[in-house]
Amino acid sequence: MENEWEKTIYVCGEELESILTAVYDAWASRKGHSRVKIEMEKEDTMELFATYVPVKQDPEKAEKVMRSIRRKIGEEAWSMVYRAALSEHESRADDIYRFLIGGFYYGPKALKMLAEPAVYRLMELNRAVGNESHFFKEFLRFDEREGHVLFGRIRPKNNVLSLVMPHFADRLPKENFLILDTGRASAGVHPAGREWYLTSLKPEAAEALMAAKSDGYRDLWKTFYQAIAIEERKNPKLQRNMMPLRYREYMTEFLED
Amino acid sequence: MQQKLEILADAAKYDVACTSSGVDRKGRKDAMGSAVSCGICHSFAADGRCVSLLKILLTNECIYDCKYCVNRISNDTVRTSFTPEEICTLTMEFYRRNYIEGLFLSSGILRTPDYTMEQIYQTLWQLREVHRFWGYIHVKAIPGADPALIERVGHLADRMSINLELPTGDGLRKLAPGKTREKILTPMRQIQHGIHDNRLKLEDQKQEKKIFLPGTPESGGAPAKVKKKAGLPAPKGMLRYEEKSKFVPAGQSTQMIIGATPETDHQILSVTEALYHRFELKRVFFSAYTAINDDSFLPALGTRPPLLREHRLYQADWLLRFYGFEAGELLTEEKPYFNEALDPKCDWALRHLELFPVEVNRADYMTLLRVPGIGVKSAKRILQARRSAKLDFPDLKKFGVVLKRASYFITCGGKMMGNTPIEEDFLTRALTAEDRVKNQRIANAGAFRQMSLFEDFHVENPSPGPDDVWKSLSGQL
């Protein structure tokens, strides 16, 4: 017999599908929202008086949750949940669960209830993910490699690669390009004239790409970049505000060679 | 090529606008490029200004002798020109690598205004039709060029601009002997009318479509003309950009130089307001004059650009465009300059204390916008959130309200945040103390810099290089 204060903690993986499966399981358990919690596998501090239940990823359950969100709370809510699932925060799975409690109760208008902590939290995750993916649309740089292949690198905190790819696929339909998330060793690949896809990249393949010769337009760009600044207005603080240092890691204008 | 680029980018850098905003255009399978209405900055130069477009001059040769300009005929500088082909290659190759969002093409006057405009047209035409570039193009209309040329360029560009150069006709006569107010305002008017006519034409075409072709899906970028042909699918061959037939879809902008002539802030802001109302400009840019030429009509060499003044003007410009303010509310003939120590909104609020405090849970949108520390986004969030809950100060903080300023002007549920007297002297002191450091920084940007461990003492940069990344990937680190 369970104690009534005892919590059940559903432990899920990183992917959206796994998170949604956990939402399904936690909800279907009917233990009551205050007595269930979803955690990511990584978390290492365990709670007392809690039962840990590993979640078995199930596409069917995830699909059901997705459909309910789209039907009952709307497309906008779905895209917010999708983005929140890409967040770097360990709490994201439970944050999504907490939002859905209100979301299924109030319907589409839940999105507007920003004074509600769960709604605000989801918006916060969304904003962080959205902002970071926008930064990489700005600051990502491609290098041309042999055979007209464009190669770009990012190291985002949130898993934004799947949000960045459509932007470039739309913009450069006739280009072969590849974007590598160096932190996660995953890559987005876009063959010219076809759909893009995500894949994980073997170290040898990444090595071949990174070691290739330098691109002739690098120097031209650096020249332009240096010429366009007005010396009398120099303002590194403003520059850092607009373009934080961590985004400069792979930017052509800051590469040394 | 490298040298040319250096010269012609350097000569273009005093042009302020580098925005790529105002038009949404999805990519096309047979072209390269797209545009997003919010614009995308691709980098920020050492002066903190956004680098969005490849901002270059077609040529830095010029027949004019405008006193404030680096490219004036009497300056002894190296002169060079790009060919249209060179500009196309640079634009395309930079764009592919995501260095830029598009092209910003300006030019000195080579031979005649018409000849220069013709060259610009050639470049744009090649870029759109030969290279099939679908990204953003901002181009200068050359004052005095044939209206027919301006019309054709307008169908290839997203944004056009003609620089007003100086806020008043007087200043212009003194500093730009080759230009007159009329030469500048005529094409500005032409573009305004062009945008209008074009909009009406497109409306008509939409109406026609509605009647003859119910249910034709509105796909982004597909030409109205082709669709009109009784529902036939678009032709197999490539679509010409000009057939989209949108004229300057992102609107026009202008810029004026601040601090080269003795106009007051009030004059400048009034001109700005008139440009928005009478010429329907999208943006008016201000450019703090950088003393580059030695001339008895100009501030002496070594005069620092009036950056804080420029900053205040931009703040006021924002108030005109998004906050429902009028120029006459912010400045008057009697008080023709902005307060250096306070931003224009705080300054206005302090002169209208009778209107405050405002109750956040009840005030309408326009009233909220006038509260210092509340912006467009936070005002909208407040409206949304208060429908389902009564808001308190911690909520406001989450919505992005700057309580350091706003708290003196608002109540939540009838209560103010602290015990503050609504009294001008007290508030002025509180608010200026807040901004003093920041204002100093803006005013002195570029004048001095902090010593840096890496630059001044040659300490090795410890951040990982590309090598290390590869190592970490293959597990050697």
Complete DSSP assignment for A135-186: HHHHH--EEEEGGGEEEEEE--SS--HHHHHHHHHHH-TT-EEEEEETTTTE
Segments of chain A assigned E as strands:
7-12, 36-40, 50-54, 142-145, 149-154, 176-181, 186-190, 197-200
The distance of B120 to chain A (nearest Cα, Å) reads 20
In this structure, the strands spanning A186-190 and A197-200 are: antiparallel
In this structure, the strands spanning B50-51 and B43-44 are: antiparallel
Choice between A81 and B237, residue whose per-residue pLDDT is larger: A81
Average pLDDT over residues B381-408: 90
A152 domain-assigned: yes
The pair phi, psi for residue B102, each rounded to 5°, is: 160, -160
Tokens of A45: 């501090």
The distance of A13 to chain B (nearest Cα, Å) reads 22
Using CB atoms within 10 Å of the CB of residue B338, give its burial: 0 to 12 exposed, 13 to 18 middle, 19+ buried: buried
* This model's pTM is above 0.95: no
* Whether the predicted pLDDT of B70 surpasses 90: no
Q: Are residues A118 and A11 in the same domain?
A: yes
Q: Are residues A160 and A201 in the same domain?
A: yes
Integer Cα distance of A22 and A55 in angstroms: 6
Using CB atoms within 10 Å of the CB of residue A246, give its burial: 0 to 12 exposed, 13 to 18 middle, 19+ buried: exposed
The distance of A25 to chain B (nearest Cα, Å) reads 30
Q: Are residues A155 and A188 in the same domain?
A: yes
pLDDT band at B220 (very low <50, low <70, confident <90, very high): very low
Q: Are residues A49 and A101 in the same domain?
A: yes
Span B147-203, pLDDT tens digits: 989 988 998 999 999 888 888 888 888 888 888 888 888 889 999 988 888 888 777
Helix (H, G, I), strand (E, B) or coil at B410: strand
Contacts of A215 in chain B (CB under 8 A): 97
Contacts of B473 in chain A (CB under 8 A): 182, 185, 203, 206-207
The domain of A15 spans 7-131
Amino acid B467: pLDDT: 41
What does the CA dihedral B331, B335, B340, B344 come to, rounded to 10 degrees? -20
Contacts of B305 in chain A (CB under 8 A): 232-233
Neighbours of B447 (CB within 10 A): 10
Amino acid A136: pLDDT: 94
Q: Do A221 and B307 touch (CB under 8 A)?
A: no
Q: Is the Cβ–Cβ distance between B378 and B399 less than 8 Å?
A: yes
Average pLDDT over residues A182-191: 88
CA angle A156, B48, A215 (to 5 degrees): 55
pLDDT band at A17 (very low <50, low <70, confident <90, very high): very high
* Whether the predicted pLDDT of B476 surpasses 50: no
pLDDT band at A225 (very low <50, low <70, confident <90, very high): very high
Amino acid B237: pLDDT: 46
Average pLDDT of chain B to the nearest whole number: 81
Amino acid A43: pLDDT: 59
Q: Are residues A192 and A125 in the same domain?
A: no
User: Of A131, A152, A184, which closes a domain?
Assistant: A131
User: Of A108, A131, A154, which closes a domain?
Assistant: A131
Integer Cα distance of B130 and B124 in angstroms: 10
Q: Do B97 and A203 touch (CB under 8 A)?
A: no
A2 domain-assigned: no
The pair phi, psi for residue B276, each rounded to 5°, is: -65, -45
Amino acid B466: pLDDT: 40
A55 domain-assigned: yes
Q: Which of A48-52, A121-125, A213-217, B284-288 has the lowest mean pLDDT?
A: A213-217
pLDDT band at B241 (very low <50, low <70, confident <90, very high): low
A1 domain-assigned: no
CA angle A88, A92, A93 (to 5 degrees): 135
Q: Is the Cβ–Cβ distance between B242 and B156 less than 8 Å?
A: yes
The pair phi, psi for residue B256, each rounded to 5°, is: -135, 155
Amino acid B369: pLDDT: 94
Tokens of B289: 């004059």
Integer Cα distance of B171 and B259 in angstroms: 11
Q: Are residues A116 and A151 in the same domain?
A: no
Tokens of A16: 């959206």
The distance of B78 to chain A (nearest Cα, Å) reads 15
CA angle B451, B452, B456 (to 5 degrees): 85
Contacts of A63 (CB under 8 A, 6+ apart): none
Q: Are residues A116 and A216 in the same domain?
A: no
Q: Is the Cβ–Cβ distance between B178 and B142 less than 8 Å?
A: no
* Whether the predicted pLDDT of B464 surpasses 60: no
A17 domain-assigned: yes
Q: Are residues A165 and A195 in the same domain?
A: yes
Amino acid B144: pLDDT: 87
Choice between A2 and A15, residue whose per-residue pLDDT is larger: A15
Amino acid A158: pLDDT: 94
Span A20-44, pLDDT tens digits: 999 999 999 988 888 899 998 875 6
Choice between B343 and B222, residue whose per-residue pLDDT is larger: B343
Q: Which of B109-118, B238-247, B454-463 has the lowest mean pLDDT?
A: B454-463
Average pLDDT over residues B334-340: 88
CA distances from A34 to A27, A114, A206 (A): 11, 21, 46
Q: Do B12 and A228 touch (CB under 8 A)?
A: yes
Top residue of A136, A151, A204, A235 to mutate, by most chain B CBs within 10 Å, is A235
Q: Are residues A125 and A166 in the same domain?
A: no
Top residue of B99, B398, B458 to mutate, by most chain A CBs within 10 Å, is B99
Q: Is the Cβ–Cβ distance between B259 and B309 less than 8 Å?
A: yes
pLDDT band at B459 (very low <50, low <70, confident <90, very high): very low
Q: A 18-37 residues with CB below 8 A of B?
A: none
User: Of A64, A99, A131, which closes a domain?
Assistant: A131
What is this model's ipTM?
0.89
Amino acid B245: pLDDT: 63
CA distances from B375 to B35, B111, B315, B401 (A): 26, 48, 12, 7
Q: Which helix (H) or strand (E) holds B161?
A: strand B159-161
Q: Which of A198-207, B60-69, B409-418 has the lowest mean pLDDT?
A: A198-207
Choice between B397 and B244, residue whose per-residue pLDDT is larger: B397
| Cα Rg, chain A, nearest whole Å | 22
Contacts of A143 in chain B (CB under 8 A): 97
Integer Cα distance of B224 and B218 in angstroms: 10
* Whether the predicted pLDDT of A93 surpasses 90: yes
Amino acid B207: pLDDT: 62
* Whether the predicted pLDDT of B225 surpasses 70: no
Span B76-91, pLDDT tens digits: 889 999 999 999 999 9
Residues of chain B above pLDDT 70, percent: 84
pLDDT band at B294 (very low <50, low <70, confident <90, very high): confident
Of A105, A93, A117, the residue nearest A38 (C-alpha): A93
Q: Which of B85-89, B126-130, B138-142, B427-431 has the lowest mean pLDDT?
A: B427-431
Sign of CA dihedral B425, B430, B433, B438: negative
A247: closest chain B residue by CA: B43
Q: B 227-266 residues with CB below 8 A of A?
A: none
Integer Cα distance of A22 and B409 in angstroms: 47
Q: Is the Cβ–Cβ distance between B120 and B142 less than 8 Å?
A: yes
Q: Are residues A126 and A11 in the same domain?
A: yes
Q: Whose structure tokens read 């509340």? A: B374
Q: Which of A38-47, B307-316, B319-328, B341-350 has the lowest mean pLDDT?
A: A38-47
A46 domain-assigned: yes
Span B345-380, pLDDT tens digits: 999 998 898 898 899 999 999 999 999 999 999 999
Counted domains in chain A: 2
A144 domain-assigned: yes
Domains (ranges, CATH) in chain B?
2-212+241-309 (3.20.20), 339-477 (no CATH)
Amino acid B259: pLDDT: 87
Peptide bond into B357 cis (omega under 30): yes
Q: Are residues A121 and A27 in the same domain?
A: yes
Q: Are residues A117 and A175 in the same domain?
A: no
Integer Cα distance of B29 and B239 in angstroms: 11
A19 domain-assigned: yes
Average pLDDT of chain A to the nearest whole number: 89
Q: Which of A36-45, A162-171, B220-229 has the lowest mean pLDDT?
A: B220-229
